[in-house]
Amino acid sequence: MSKELPEDVIIDILSRVPTRYILRFKSVSKSWYALFQNPNFISKHFQNQSTTSDPSFLFSPEKSTTLTPTSDHNVVLILSDSSYKSIKIPINMSKPFDVYGSCNGLICLGVLPVGSIILLWNPATGVFKDLPISPVGRFRNDPSRVVLSFGFDDVVKDYKVLRILHYDFQFKQVEIYSLNTNSWREIKTRVDFIIYESPCRVFLNGKFHWAAVGVVDNDETNLIVCFDLHGEAFKYIMLPKFEFNGRTRGYFGDCWLVVAIKESLSVIAWNESGSGVVMIEVWVMKEYGVISSWTKYTSFELQTKVARVLGCGIKGEFLLVKDNGQLVVYDPDTQRFNNLGKYRVDYFSKVLNHVGSLIPINGGEVSTRTNLSSVVPDAFFANLLGTRIV
């Protein structure tokens, strides 16, 4: 092949091969092995994967309470053809873990309780990095909630982890980890809201977005909270007014989700009628940050027994779980269901979009180091047995 095609054509072809296949080619030749580690090729490959490949749904399965050091730990990827596969995390852990973010093919994992050990992992390349313990001083009271989210600051080309500790409604502690400096630091900022969920489902325009309840005009209001990863500031985005007039009931936001559809900030809301029919509305913000630009994207009814909406693909397909535990992908454009079978989905499992990549982790070590026994957990978080982190 190399004798028949110019090198730049070969590189262009390889840059379009899905990540899960391209690593099989490392042994073809020394030149290909070197190519797959070249930063220019890695960037070109990821750009092509982001624009030509459909993201997979990523979530962690239901966590066992009886894990042993030899237990299987895995994450689940639901691929673009709606098939799913389980990816084993090739390290020994004696405690459960959860997924707190996916960005540019890298996954942020936290060993429970409350992320006492935090790992960055590229499942395609098998590279891990454990984050250092934060030097930020803690308060005597235990936090009631901990938020962890993971994203990329495109301005300074740095991967960052944001951690928010909710001690009570008025008092919070915010800190940020930088991969470039391999260090944590505290951010002094006003936080007058409570975030429903820990991992950020939507990282868009360099900002995290969460479903939250905040104090607006001295009243508690459901809204979207966003955090600018570079500017390090919070702001509110008010929700659209859903036409079915259903209450966005439930303190943990179980009737609406913040999602992204076709690179636009969006919201899914659902409401069950007395007859068991689930009514769903999808709203899209046409102009980012402009409340008046909320536009209803679609609405429909589902006759099936839907326990909750787990997530949304960027093209608008929904991942649902029925009340019998059946996972379903629903395409509102074709009105077709694709039943995936039953899977152990934890009620608090958060579904994220994931695109594989060859992107390295600075300071990471290859997966031959498979034992976390040498990693010192953060004692403050390791002792927070009753703290909610969802």
pLDDT at 249: 42
Cβ(85)–Cβ(79) below 8 Å: yes
Length of the chain: 390
User: 348 Cβ partners below 8 Å, 6+ apart?
Assistant: 390
* Domain locations in the chain as residue ranges: 7-45, 55-204+350-390, 240-343
| pLDDT band with cut points at 50, 70 and 90 for residue 250 | very low
First to last CA, the chain: 50
What's the mean pLDDT when you consider all of the chain?
81
pLDDT at 1: 47
Cβ(354)–Cβ(56) below 8 Å: yes
Cβ(90)–Cβ(367) below 8 Å: yes
pLDDT at 67: 39
Range of weakest confidence among 1-5, 112-116, 144-148? 1-5
| pLDDT band with cut points at 50, 70 and 90 for residue 310 | confident
Rounded Cα–Cα distance for residues 79 and 317 (Å)? 12
Q: What is the pTM of this model?
A: 0.87
pLDDT at 82: 64
The pLDDT of 283-287, averaged and rounded, is: 94
Higher pLDDT, 265 or 71: 265
User: Cis omega before residue 6 (within 30°)?
Assistant: no
pLDDT at 71: 45
Which class for 242: exposed (0-12), middle (13-18), buried (19 or more C-beta within 10 A)?
buried
C-alpha separations of 292 from 234, 296, 342, 367 in Å = 20, 12, 40, 49
Which class for 246: exposed (0-12), middle (13-18), buried (19 or more C-beta within 10 A)?
middle
Q: What percent of the chain has pLDDT over 90?
A: 26
| 1-11 tens-digit pLDDT | 455 778 888 88
| pLDDT band with cut points at 50, 70 and 90 for residue 134 | very high
Reply yes or no on whether the pLDDT at 345 is more than 60: yes
| pLDDT band with cut points at 50, 70 and 90 for residue 21 | confident
Strand-pairing partners, residue 148, are 163
Range of weakest confidence among 118-122, 331-335, 339-343? 339-343
CB atoms within 10 A of CB 67: 16
SS3 string of 47-109? HHHHHHCCCEEEECCCCCCCCCCCCCCEEEEECCCCCEEEEECCCECCCCEEEEEEECCEEEE
Rounded Cα–Cα distance for residues 224 and 310 (Å)? 18
The DSSP 8-state label assigned to residue 373 in this structure reads: G
Reply yes or no on whether the pLDDT at 298 is more than 70: yes
Which pair of structure tokens corresponds to residue 234?
């919070």
Furthest CA-CA distance within the chain: 72
Among 26, 49, 17, which Cα is nearest to 125's?
26
Reply yes or no on whether the pLDDT at 212 is more than 60: yes
